[in-house]
Chains A and B, each alone.
Chain A
Amino acid sequence: MALIAIFTPLIAALFARLLYRLIPDRLGQFFLSASLGASAVLSSLIFWDVAIGNAPYSVHLFNWMKIGGTSLDWSFRFDALSSVMMVVTSGSAFLISIYALGYMRSDPSASRFQGFLLLFVFGMLLLVSADNLAQFLFGWIGVGIFTWLLIGFWYEKPSAASAAYKTIVIFALADVILLLGVSSVYTLFGSLEYDSIFALLPARAEDAIILAGVEFNAVTVLCVLLFIGAMAKSAQIGLHVWLEGAMEAPIPAVALIASATTFTASLFLVIRLSPLYDLSETALTFLAIVGAATALFGATMASWQTDIKKILAYATCSQAGFVFMGFGLSAYQAGIFHLFTQAFFQSLLFLAAGSVIYALSGERNIRNMGGLWRHIHLSYALMVVAALALMGIWPFSGYWSKSVILDLAWGSNTLLGTIVYGIGIIFSFLTAFYMARLIFVVFHGKSRADERVMAHIRRPLTIMTAPMAVLVAGALFAGILGQHFFVGSEMAAFWGEVIPSLDTHEAMESAADPSRMIVLAPQIVSGFAIIAAFLFYYAAPSLPGKIVRKAPLLARLFEKQFYIDALYQKALAAPVFELGRFLWDKGEIGIVNGLAGRGIASNLYYLATKLSVLQNMNAYRYAFVMIASVILCLSWLALKVN
């Protein structure tokens, strides 16, 4: 049954591709969506058995390859972690695909879209259920490839095509680091299976490796390598440059990328290997630093952007950064809990934004919106709920997962913890600010849209609102319902041995109790942020423009996204191209062809024509020369030996 849940999307997609001529297009799309539903139902059953019933198991298929003494199998592992991820992935993919049935209805290649979606989900399911790192890598790179396919879905648009290419370039480079990380795991533990890695952990914890003459702790090195490899997929700072381009994908695909697949894949990697990460303080600190930088960077960018999709994109990368920051404090349970809750409100945000774009016939710039709440009440309500959940306002589901991390940061009583808490507060402020800004600018105030657009304003179809209704229920209740299992009293039993239990258990317990000042602080800060956004974008809409004019330098920095992308272009891409061109002009055409080819060859050729041996350049003569030389050599050899 477990395998059916994983392979249904793949088989359905192949089936639909093969029979696309025989079945009506629309029926095919429903079939594809339904197969995701089947996968979601089966995943939930697995979740019930494995996580609630506490009976993890694994399924071995057959041998993949033998490496040295160890053998790598195709095998699947079903435990609390993988079953939660399976439910999240297939569940939200199912809802998103239903939404896409409506959203993509007028697109002639809607069934191709559904097919890509299914393959994407298959890659992700393979990734989360893998029993060893090789199979994980299989799913991982598969997810990267399908992200590429989905971003380039509207391949006729040059911007989409090049954005997709940029994405795969970043992914490919990051995968080098990941592959080296996996190789170092293999070198250190002699195996790639999770169980054997974890079994050997205590013995290898103190091993050292020497890199460039300096001795490092081996576990630290491989944790850092794996994390850098993972950074690209969750658009952590430095490797985030694909993110904006990714918004070329249709919005259901973006929703899936952000909420349940590409972004979560990299968070999942750290959680899956949490026993490993937990051994290395250095690696965890590194995670916290990168996470904090991304959280602030993403939040700043989200406050600056005017494209509704890009705002949400940066929000997603900022949220992922926040979770990594939590991992830095070993808050793995809180991290997966946040993954679980954000799957609801993150996809809801994108889908609701999609319905706004749908209403305005493709308009994405929030400056051309405004006052929309009168026209699309339902999208407005959904957006507000999702935004409140993202801000982490009590009692929406985001609150439960976020406050655990912040609480833990304060409770850990370390310098790192305090810093994380401080950054978390700033992060909360910024999050609340940009979400409130989005709501005010898009839905309130005067309408700034084109008259023609406003005349054709469309309400979302029922088939689009239905999945959003399910998601809104999740955004409202997933946190409060799940907290006991994920981070609360049932935590130890629920996770079993999958995630290391921490001494900080009490801090997590107390997170459920919102009476303390520490827990209230983010709420208060968020409240201030909402008020600030209200002032800036509702009460006095001219204010932001004035402030920007006061600080042109800062504005320019934001406009250029801190020049990171430009730096890569100027400092990396351009010189590499220059070098390539130089080698081609001078090396290939000049030296290699000139000396060995055109030089010698043309001189000899000249000589030969003079001697009129090879006058008509025909190949028969070469053949003759070759055979003659062989025979000559052979006879010489024969004579010599005698």
Chain B
Amino acid sequence: MESSTSWPLLFVVIFLPLLGAVFVALVRGDEEILAHNVRNVAILSCLCTFLIALLIWAQFDAGKANFQMVENYKWLPGFSVSFKLGIDGFSLFFVVLTTFLVFLCILWRWSDVKNSPKKYTIILLTLETMVVGSFLSIDLISFYVFFEGMLIPLFFLIGMFGDNQRSFLAYKFFIYSLFSSSLLMLAIILIYREAGTTDLELVLSHSFSVEMQFRLWGLLFTAFAVRTPIWPLHGWLPELNVSMPLTGSVMMSGVIIKTGGYGFLRFLLPIAPTANQELAPIAVGLAVVTIFYASLVALVQSDARRRIAYVSILQMGIVTAAIFAMDVEAMEGAVILMLAHGVACGALFFCISVFDRRVFFGETREFNGLAKTMPRLAIFFVIFILAFVGIPGTSGFVGQFLVVLGTFKSHTGIALATSIGFALGTILLLFVFLQMFMGKAEDPRSGAAKVRDIGLKEGLILLPLAALVLWIGIFPSSFLTPMHASIEKLGIEYLMATSVPFDAPVREEGAGR
């Protein structure tokens, strides 16, 4: 093991939740004691994980562009496959965000799950391990294991705790995932055959032949586009968001779909720059279609959860367009936007899950006039909507501003599409507020008149999210500075790789074989 720090922090931050899950599995006792103990174990392990993630942030050297705190464990020594972990400007905040959101999810007493807190906790903790692991792996095989491994707890989540459509949805999700994971597997095999290693640092320093780059681009783009999701591969997300338990939706929209955009930045662009130079217009085109398609479809949704899901797809379209614009500022904007979306969208799902705890949750159009009965929730809801759609002072604006400013010069079309996308997001989501919170609570069926406002505990969970939203909005430097070096490096290397004439590809003969 070679580690720059005395403690293998990255290893710990990945596997601590799994350890917690094991402990949870071992808890026995009658129902009440069980629930109590499960909760305590889960909170403890999540809190520790989150604190370690913060420690990693504190130790992170913002000046370095390369991977830091690298930990290398021999895994399959015969095939130069190792279990290698490292962190850089791209992954740092995703790790922090994941651990933070899981911690809040655990605190948010999973009352939307009627049976078995134990199973639910195990699933959530395993999911955390998988997500954090996929952000921290810098070996293709271990990345693949984590990236696909996070589907396992998700299947359980849908299959065990979803609504009455769950078996069909689980199946549908499975089809999409199978599609994406087989493409990713194929890409990894191709990379391994040419570069002779799955170590990401070595793979990135290898220059792939142009034909290979085109192949890899196609495979990787499609694989990650399913996860992002990009039109027309988005069909799995909205339905899933609607029928999952809401903490599952928090994780799904908050971090899991971010692995798609992360994959573009981490693998696709550095591995296939020359191909990207040619093919980026396809990606941008699909992203722009996604923006408008998702906003049009969102327009006719009456259920808030489905509408939010489509607006999430819209935002991921913006992120993808910004990534493929290949501009350092726009890429910084895209990463900030993914973080901002993770916080705001997760927070919105927390807000909506309040109803699940109060009353049976039907479609949100059955509620109106909630501002009267739930003024505190209304305030939080407004803040998170505004953050979601990029109103200045909140996290979304920083992303929006960087994306639009960055793309305007060279890709005015992208700037236009993304800024319209943000406006459409505003229009779409404020309608949710209009529908649910404004107007009069007349319909006695809705029960809106009787719904209790959020209490102190719920407020204390939403408050840090609101604070985070404002923090990113007002002092974005504390987030932009650590990621800057890595993004700039990607930009420079991309520029160098693509400035070589198209028909004279640099290829180190036999480097891989």
Q: Contacts A183-B405, A596-B176 given; indicate if A622 touches B369 (C-beta within 8 A).
A: no
Distance between A16 CB and nearest chain B CB, rounded to angstroms: 14
**Complex Cα gap A316–B291 (Å):** 37
Proximity string of chain A (582-601) to chain B, C-beta cutoff 8 Å, 1 when within and 0 when not: 01100110011100111011
Q: Contacts A156-B439, A577-B300, A630-B144 given; indicate if A180 touches B416 (C-beta within 8 A).
A: yes
Contacts of A158 in B (CB 8 A): 439-440
Are A145 and B434 touching (Cβ within 8 A)?
no
Are A619 and B439 touching (Cβ within 8 A)?
no
Are A638 and B78 touching (Cβ within 8 A)?
yes
| CB of B430 closer than 8 Å to a CB of A | yes
Q: Contacts A66-B477, A68-B329, A180-B419 given; indicate if A169 touches B427 (C-beta within 8 A).
A: yes
Partner of B329, one of A67, A581, A604: A67
| CB of A165 closer than 8 Å to a CB of B | yes
**Complex Cα gap A165–B152 (Å):** 42
The residue of chain B having its C-beta at the shortest distance from the C-beta of A182 within the complex is: B405
Are B297 and A580 touching (Cβ within 8 A)?
yes
Are A576 and B185 touching (Cβ within 8 A)?
no
Distance between A204 CB and nearest chain B CB, rounded to angstroms: 14
Q: Contacts A623-B152, A627-B152 given; indicate if A175 touches B423 (C-beta within 8 A).
A: yes
Distance between A15 CB and nearest chain B CB, rounded to angstroms: 15
Distance between B453 CB and nearest chain A CB, rounded to angstroms: 13
Contacts of B434 in A (CB 8 A): 161-162, 164-165
Contacts of B43 in A (CB 8 A): none
- Summed over the interface, the residue pairs from A and B with CB atoms below 8 Å come to a total of 201
Contacts of A64 in B (CB 8 A): 474-477
The residue of chain A having its C-beta at the shortest distance from the C-beta of B430 within the complex is: A168
Distance between B373 CB and nearest chain A CB, rounded to angstroms: 11
Distance between A495 CB and nearest chain B CB, rounded to angstroms: 29
Are A583 and B404 touching (Cβ within 8 A)?
no
**Complex Cα gap A642–B78 (Å):** 9
Contacts of B476 in A (CB 8 A): 64-65
Are A155 and B438 touching (Cβ within 8 A)?
yes
The residue of chain A having its C-beta at the shortest distance from the C-beta of B189 within the complex is: A637
Q: Which parts of A415-430 form the interface with B (CB within 8 Å)?
A: none
Contacts of A642 in B (CB 8 A): 78
Q: Which parts of A583-639 form the interface with B (CB within 8 Å)?
A: 583-584, 587-588, 591-593, 596-598, 600-602, 604-605, 617-620, 622-623, 625-627, 629-630, 633-634, 637-638
Number of A residues near B (Cβ < 8 Å) is 77
**Complex Cα gap A173–B299 (Å):** 15
| CB of B175 closer than 8 Å to a CB of A | yes
**Complex Cα gap A180–B238 (Å):** 31
| CB of B459 closer than 8 Å to a CB of A | no
Contacts of A211 in B (CB 8 A): 412
| CB of B15 closer than 8 Å to a CB of A | no
Q: Which of A134-142, A399-407, A540-548 contacts B (4 or more CB under 8 A)?
A: A134-142
Q: Contacts A176-B419, A619-B158 given; indicate if A67 touches B404 (C-beta within 8 A).
A: no
Are A596 and B175 touching (Cβ within 8 A)?
yes
Q: Contacts A597-B172, A617-B167, A622-B170 given; indicate if A165 touches B431 (C-beta within 8 A).
A: yes
The winner among A157, A579, A592 for most chain B CB atoms within 10 A is A592
**Complex Cα gap A152–B235 (Å):** 36
Q: Which parts of B363-393 form the interface with A (CB within 8 Å)?
A: 369, 371-372, 386, 391-393
Proximity string of chain B (73-100) to chain A, C-beta cutoff 8 Å, 1 when within and 0 when not: 0001011000000000000000000000
The winner among B192, B402, B409 for most chain A CB atoms within 10 A is B409
**Complex Cα gap A141–B419 (Å):** 14
Distance between A143 CB and nearest chain B CB, rounded to angstroms: 11
Are A605 and B171 touching (Cβ within 8 A)?
yes
**Complex Cα gap A157–B398 (Å):** 35
Q: Contacts A583-B296, A617-B159 given; indicate if A145 touches B391 (C-beta within 8 A).
A: yes
Are A600 and B175 touching (Cβ within 8 A)?
yes
Proximity string of chain B (267-289) to chain A, C-beta cutoff 8 Å, 1 when within and 0 when not: 00000000000000000000000
Distance between A291 CB and nearest chain B CB, rounded to angstroms: 25
Are B391 and A141 touching (Cβ within 8 A)?
yes
Are B235 and A634 touching (Cβ within 8 A)?
no
**Complex Cα gap A392–B420 (Å):** 41
Contacts of B474 in A (CB 8 A): 64, 74
Distance between A209 CB and nearest chain B CB, rounded to angstroms: 9
Partner of B401, one of A134, A184, A577: A134
| CB of B160 closer than 8 Å to a CB of A | yes
| CB of A504 closer than 8 Å to a CB of B | no
Contacts of B328 in A (CB 8 A): 68
Are B185 and A580 touching (Cβ within 8 A)?
no
Q: Which parts of B406-437 form the interface with A (CB within 8 Å)?
A: 406, 408-409, 412, 415-416, 419-420, 422-423, 426-427, 430-431, 434, 437
**Complex Cα gap A633–B298 (Å):** 39
**Complex Cα gap A580–B310 (Å):** 12
Distance between B16 CB and nearest chain A CB, rounded to angstroms: 22
Q: Contacts A141-B391, A162-B434, A581-B300 given; indicate if A588 touches B235 (C-beta within 8 A).
A: yes
| CB of A208 closer than 8 Å to a CB of B | no
Are A156 and B159 touching (Cβ within 8 A)?
no
Q: Contacts A66-B480, A637-B189 given; indicate if A187 touches B423 (C-beta within 8 A).
A: no
Are A626 and B234 touching (Cβ within 8 A)?
no
**Complex Cα gap A65–B149 (Å):** 37
The winner among B181, B236, B300, B400 for most chain A CB atoms within 10 A is B300
Partner of B420, one of A176, A580, A625, A638: A176
Are A180 and B404 touching (Cβ within 8 A)?
yes
The residue of chain A having its C-beta at the shortest distance from the C-beta of B153 within the complex is: A623
Are A156 and B427 touching (Cβ within 8 A)?
no
Distance between A123 CB and nearest chain B CB, rounded to angstroms: 10
Are B159 and A618 touching (Cβ within 8 A)?
yes
Contacts of A454 in B (CB 8 A): none
| CB of A63 closer than 8 Å to a CB of B | yes
| CB of B168 closer than 8 Å to a CB of A | yes
Partner of A623, one of B156, B176, B409: B156
| CB of A535 closer than 8 Å to a CB of B | no
| CB of B293 closer than 8 Å to a CB of A | yes
The residue of chain A having its C-beta at the shortest distance from the C-beta of B141 within the complex is: A634
Contacts of A630 in B (CB 8 A): 144-145, 148-149
Q: Which parts of B147-189 form the interface with A (CB within 8 Å)?
A: 148-149, 151-152, 155-156, 158-160, 167-168, 170-172, 174-178, 181-182, 185, 189
Are A619 and B159 touching (Cβ within 8 A)?
yes
**Complex Cα gap A604–B168 (Å):** 11
Distance between B123 CB and nearest chain A CB, rounded to angstroms: 10
Proximity string of chain A (170-188) to chain B, C-beta cutoff 8 Å, 1 when within and 0 when not: 0011011001101110110
Proximity string of chain B (240-253) to chain A, C-beta cutoff 8 Å, 1 when within and 0 when not: 00000000000000
Contacts of B236 in A (CB 8 A): 597
| CB of B464 closer than 8 Å to a CB of A | no
**Complex Cα gap A617–B158 (Å):** 11
Q: Contacts A180-B415, A183-B405, A592-B235 given; indicate if A137 touches B392 (C-beta within 8 A).
A: yes
Contacts of B238 in A (CB 8 A): 588
Are B426 and A172 touching (Cβ within 8 A)?
yes
The winner among B158, B405, B480 for most chain A CB atoms within 10 A is B405
| CB of B232 closer than 8 Å to a CB of A | yes
**Complex Cα gap A587–B298 (Å):** 12
Q: Contacts A605-B171, A630-B148 given; indicate if A580 touches B299 (C-beta within 8 A).
A: yes
Are B171 and A579 touching (Cβ within 8 A)?
no
Interface residues of A (CB under 8 A from B): 62-68, 74, 134, 137-138, 141-142, 145, 148, 152, 155-158, 160-162, 164-165, 168-169, 172-173, 175-176, 179-180, 182-184, 186-187, 211, 576-577, 579-581, 583-584, 587-588, 591-593, 596-598, 600-602, 604-605, 617-620, 622-623, 625-627, 629-630, 633-634, 637-638, 640-642
Instruction: Give 7 CB contacts A-B under 8 Å.
Output: A66-B477, A137-B392, A142-B391, A180-B419, A183-B415, A596-B172, A600-B175
Top 6 closest pairs, chain A to chain B, by CB: A619-B159, A161-B438, A183-B408, A138-B392, A580-B299, A617-B167
Known A173-B423, A588-B238; further 10 A-B contacts with Cβ < 8 A: A65-B398, A65-B476, A161-B439, A162-B434, A168-B430, A176-B423, A580-B300, A591-B232, A605-B171, A619-B160
